[in-house]
Amino acid sequence: MPPDVQQVPAATVARLPLYLRCLEELEQTKVETVSSSRLAELAGVNAAKLRKDLSHLGSYGTRGVGYQVAHLMRSIRFELGLDEQSPVIVIGLGNLGQALVNHAGFGDRGFPIVAVFDIDPNKIGRRVEGVDTAVEHLDNLETVVAAHEARTAIITTPVGAAQSATDRVVAAGITSVLNFAPTVVQVPEGVALRQVDLALELQILSYYQPRPETSPEHGARDENLRAAR
Ligand code: NAD
């Protein structure tokens, strides 16, 4: 990125898709303008934070009117690079891989799943609903990635295969990795990585569960939580 281009903070980037979804819902109900406080309420964030986030896009809204829904959607889509289709490949066609491939929502949002890879001989060559091509062996990775100009890979292999699968997709030219295997994989500089782990989310939620006061530490924790609300 050229040095004079301001980089949008990662936390802001992570919230932009949420704002976009809220704006899409507003547009569907024919709403043309929205105030920052209303959009913040819909997105479940603080209004000052939302205004700061959108200022990184050069969107400040108009006092007393708010933001133009269609214009703000275009700005966010542009910033996120959602203007064109971005082909995705899936590595590991097990329970989760199959569920993701079956989900039509990715294609609708500009992320068509163009190929699926596995190493199980019983799966290779099989047709899968939701993908135009049959399941490919991992050995064909480079050819398929190049043919489809795919940039993103979803990793749904067992933990033990996640790092090697990541290394292989990166070597094949993939520059964005979405890892579902519950392990931290490493990627080289220049490759974007997101990890999705629902068990981890449940563990975070667990912290907020009321618990019996079995120890002084628990008592102090609940006290802090009450104070934070
Ligand atoms: P699964 O065992 O049903 O499927 C794994 C698939 O990967 C199999 O088809 C297997 O042949 C294939 N595979 C193994 N090594 C491979 C390799 N090197 N290259 C390509 N394919 C390979 O498992 P699952 O239930 O679908 O789960 C997949 C992964 O997702 C696991 O790591 C699991 O822990 C994880 N998972 C994550 C979440 C989450 O919230 N992120 C939820 C459920 C499962």
Å from CA of 179 to ligand 1 middle: 10
pLDDT in single tens digits along all 229 residues of the chain: 444 446 899 999 999 999 999 999 999 999 999 999 999 999 999 999 999 999 999 988 888 889 999 999 999 999 999 989 999 999 999 999 999 999 988 998 999 999 999 999 999 999 998 898 899 999 999 999 999 999 999 999 999 999 999 999 999 999 999 999 999 999 999 999 999 999 999 999 999 998 876 666 666 666 666 665 5
Q: For ligand 1, what atom is nearest to the CA of residue 97? A: 26
Å from CA of 109 to ligand 1 middle: 24
Contact present, 17 and 109 (Cβ < 8 Å): no
Contact present, 3 and 46 (Cβ < 8 Å): no
The pLDDT, as a whole number, for residue 3 is: 41
Considering only CA atoms, which residue is closest to atom 12 of ligand 1?
92
Å from CA of 156 to ligand 1 middle: 4
The pLDDT, as a whole number, for residue 59 is: 82
Placement of tokens 């749904």 in the chain: 156
SS (H, E, C) the chain: CCCCCCCCCHHHHHHHHHHHHHHHHHHHCCCCEECHHHHHHHHCCCHHHHHHHHHCCCCCCECCCEEEHHHHHHHHHHHHCCCCCCCEEEECCCHHHHHHHHCCHHHHCCCCEEEEEECCCCCCCCCCCCCCCCCEEHHHHHHHHHHHCCCEEEECCCHHHHHHHHHHHHHCCCCEEEECCCCCCCCCCCCEEEECCHHHHHHHHHHCCCCCCCCHHHHHHHHHHHHHC
Burial class (CB in 10 A: 0-12, 13-18, 19+), 27: middle
CA angle 137, 142, 148 (to 5 degrees): 95
The pLDDT, as a whole number, for residue 2 is: 44
The pLDDT, as a whole number, for residue 220 is: 65
The pLDDT, as a whole number, for residue 1 is: 47
Cα–Cα distances in angstroms (integers) from residue 177 to residues 73, 83, 180, 213, 214, in the given order:
25, 20, 10, 42, 42
pTM above 0.75, yes or no: yes
Q: For ligand 1, what atom is nearest to the CA of residue 158? A: 32
- Full set of structural domains in the chain with CATH: 5-79 (1.10.10.10), 88-196 (3.40.50.720)
Q: For ligand 1, what atom is nearest to the CA of residue 180? A: 41
Considering only CA atoms, which residue is closest to atom 27 of ligand 1?
96
Ligand 1 contacts CB of residue 98 (under 6 A)? no
The pLDDT, as a whole number, for residue 83 is: 87
- What is d(CA 117, CA 77) in angstroms, rounded to the nearest whole number? 29
Q: For ligand 1, what atom is nearest to the CA of residue 96? A: 26
Structure tokens at 178: 């979405």
Ligand 1 contacts CB of residue 92 (under 6 A)? yes
Mutate to test the pocket of ligand 1, among 118, 166, 203 (most ligand atoms within 8 A of CB): 118
Ligand 1 contacts CB of residue 80 (under 6 A)? no
